[in-house]
Amino acid sequence: MKLLRFGPAGHEKPGLVDASGVIRDLSSVVDDIAGATLLPANLAKLRDVKTDTLPTAPAGARIGPCVAGVGKVICVGLNYSDHAKESNMAIPTEPILFMKPTSAICGPNDHVEIPRGGEKTDWEVELGVVIGKTAKYVGKESALDYIAGYCVVNDVSERAFQLERGGQWDKGKGHDTFAPIGPWLVTADEVADPQNLAMWLDVDGHRYQNGSTRTMIFDVATLVSYISQFMTLQPGDVIATGTPPGVGLGQKPPVYLHAGQTMKLGIAGLGEQQQLTVPAKGTAA
């Protein structure tokens, strides 16, 4: 299944994409694509829903983040050896973890803000893993059983904040809109091999990233198992599994985003995102 959420920000409704590509409203079936809805037994019930009886979403409806109520976004740094090399950083011997605040989450086609004082805002197409049941001290051999599905994530980063302002990476990873997620959560049963997915990212029509999950240093099963040794993973948690080469930091000379540019990115079978970069907004009234 391709599950999604549509509607104005903060008021999204749950939906799915039917066999003909039409978005159907799941509001009469589930409250949201979140929490208990992602448990294996409840996903199985959703597969039995007769989609042709469901109302369609309004034409042109905004697509929101594909999962709601995210407890945490755990990110994996330098998980592709070529990306580590282009970043002039050592290839890790075990996964590097950092967090994005849930306030960074936005829809796959929402605007991405360039932070105030930001000088080196960068892009990163990543495979997102959405947890489907509680995972604590999980073995690698069973780790994939804890995954509800997969999605596209753009791990937007402000490199000056990340690398030049002291402390850990989080301050360069956590700005509002720095975690576009979606368009869909593709359930795990429809992804035959998460380690064989082509991925790409363009800026203003120029292809910068063109990679595959085949070249991850630590595969998805390893990551779920590893992270569960340090924190409990809960339904709706998202793991961003790292990015292939081609980020702005790695260009010679480096290339960074500025307001008025368009990022377009995707992963085979998981859909595409498109974001316009805009100046950061002030505090909401």
Residue 204, domain member (yes or no): yes
Residue 205, domain member (yes or no): yes
Residue 47, domain member (yes or no): no
In this model, does residue 122 exceed pLDDT 80? Answer: yes
How many other CB atoms sit within 10 Å of the CB of residue 131? Answer: 27
For the stretch 95-116, pLDDT in tens is 999 999 999 999 999 999 999 9
The pLDDT score that the predictor gives to residue 81 is 82
Lowest mean pLDDT among 106-120, 161-175, 250-264: 161-175
For the stretch 31-40, pLDDT in tens is 999 999 999 9
Q: Which residues, including other chains, have CB under 8 Å from residue 239's CB and lie 6 or more apart?
A: 73, 74, 75, 76, 128, 129, 131, 223, 224, 227, 233
Residue 244, domain member (yes or no): yes
- Label residue 176 by pLDDT band (50, 70, 90): very high
Give the CATH number, domain containing residue 149.
3.90.850.10
CB 176 within 8 A of CB 158: no
Q: In what order do the strands lie in the sheet with 147-154?
A: 23-25, 13-17, 2-6, 185-187, 147-154, 125-131, 238-240, 73-77, 96-100
Residue 162, domain member (yes or no): yes
What is the number of domains present in the chain? 1
State the sign of the Cα–Cα–Cα–Cα dihedral 7, 9, 12, 16: positive
Angle ∠(250,277,76) on CA atoms, nearest 5:
45
User: What is the residue range of 204's domain?
Assistant: 68-279
Region of 53 on the Ramachandran plot (φ > 0 left; ψ -120 to 50 alpha; else beta): alpha
Which contiguous run of DSSP H or E holds residue 276?
A: strand 271-279
Q: Which residues, including other chains, have CB under 8 Å from residue 61's CB and lie 6 or more apart?
A: 6, 7, 23
Residue 52, domain member (yes or no): no
Query: For the residues 168-193, what does the mean pLDDT come to?
Result: 96
In this model, does residue 41 exceed pLDDT 70? Answer: yes
State the sign of the Cα–Cα–Cα–Cα dihedral 2, 192, 49, 19: positive
Residue 195, domain member (yes or no): yes
For the stretch 193-245, pLDDT in tens is 999 999 999 999 999 999 999 999 999 999 999 999 999 999 999 999 999 99
Residue 217, domain member (yes or no): yes
**Rounded alpha-carbon distances, angstroms, from residue 8 to 59, 102, 119, 223, 280:** 13, 18, 30, 33, 20
**Rounded alpha-carbon distances, angstroms, from residue 14 to 11, 32, 68:** 10, 5, 9
For the stretch 42-96, pLDDT in tens is 999 999 999 999 999 999 999 999 999 999 999 999 999 877 778 787 888 999 9
